[in-house]
Copies of this chain bind each other. A is one copy, B any other.
């Protein structure tokens, strides 16, 4: 397989993630080609020098690719994986940027033998979305998870690592898509739903008081930040990780109930002990 520097890379989906990775690859590979549904998106990507060329016709460009990066919402990734196999050239690396992995890798398992599939998940994002938010530095120093299939060749994983490093990220190979989905279920999807429920709670109660808008503190802003994430992306993420998200929600409900009981009981010693434990754990997680 060719190294990334000599590869023609086709990025499908030019939103925040796709536009950013295209911009990070452009100039560091043979050619960066973007695929989007709307002509305006292609024009925006070209004018911001995120791609060398672009098209709205996915089938016209895929046969030229050494590497295909799927950067659409997860369910669209799955649809594309199911349809493009036959038109990819021999040995093409097909990688995705989806936030869940088991369903995507199940679809990748059915690809024709000449395609080299690899699951990908860069741990970055922001509340802005779309090509106008794209930033070639988005991946800088972020963890880029790679999840190989049993059929993925070792040299394909090496090119995946090369791709991650080329965009400034730190590759991390995880052996099992279920392990990935379990981890992100608690560390990424659960926080999103907690933030959403917090926004709904405030909206249903305190927002009726005009003073609420003046006193809403930085704690609320931070805790609710991810609730502003892209809706289409998060809908697909949730629908493809339901089992792990429900498990995480149940575990969360248990722990939240412990706090509720301590508030109810009003014992200062017990409360301080648990809050100290949490305080220290948080400092351990983010030193």
Contacts and interface: CB of A to CB of B under 8 A. Distances in A.
A59 to B, nearest CB: 26
Nearest to A241: B263
The interface residues of chain A, by DSSP majority, are classed as helix
A215 to B, nearest CB: 5
This chain: copies in complex: 2
A191 interface: yes
A195 B221 CA distance: 12
A197 B235 contact: no
B201 A248 contact: yes
Interface stretch (A13-21, A90-98, A225-233): A225-233
A231 B198 contact: no
A198 B252 contact: yes
A279 B229 contact: yes
Interface stretch (A1-9, A63-71, A160-168, A269-277): A269-277
A194 B209 contact: no
A181 to B, nearest CB: 11
